[in-house]
Amino acid sequence: MLQLEEEKSVVELTPWQRVLICRHKDRPKTLDYIRGMCDSFEELHGDRTFADDQAIVGGFGFIDGKKFVIIGQEKGIDTETRIKHNFGAPHPEGYRKALRLMELAEKFSLPVVTLIDTSGAYCGLTAEERGQGWAIAKNLLKMARLRTPITCVLIGEGCSGGALGIGIGDVIGMLEHSYYSVISPEGCASILWKDAKNNEEASRVLKMHGEDLLKMQVIDEIIPEPEGGAHNDPQAVFSRVKEFILRMEARFSEYSLEQLVESRYLRFRKLGAHLSLEKI
Q: What is the tens place of the pLDDT at every residue in 26-59?
A: 999 999 999 999 999 999 999 999 999 999 999 9
The dihedral sign for the CA sequence 271, 272, 273, 275: positive
Beta-strand pair 179-181/221-223: unpaired
Q: Report helix angle 257-269 to 132-145, nearest 10.
A: 130
Give the count of alpha carbons within 13 A of 13, CB side only. 24
Residue 8 has a pLDDT of: 44
H or E element, residue 99 = helix 92-107
Enter the DSSP assignment of 78.
Answer: S
d(CA 216, CA 188): 20
Say if pTM beats, i.e. exceeds, 0.85.
Answer: yes
CATH level 2 (architecture), domain 10-266: Alpha-Beta Complex (3.90)
Of 262, 269, 46, 22, residue with least CA distance to 156: 22
Please report, for the chain, the start and end positions of each structural domain, with discontinuous segments joined by +: 10-266
22 three-class SS = helix
- Binned at pLDDT 50, 70 and 90, residue 197 comes out as confident
Which amino acid is residue 172, in one-letter code?
I
Region 89-97 average pLDDT? 97
Summarize pLDDT for 216-243 with one digit per residue, the tens: 899 999 999 999 999 999 999 999 999 9
Summarize pLDDT for 108-135 with one digit per residue, the tens: 999 999 999 999 999 999 999 999 999 9
| Mean per-residue pLDDT of the chain | 92
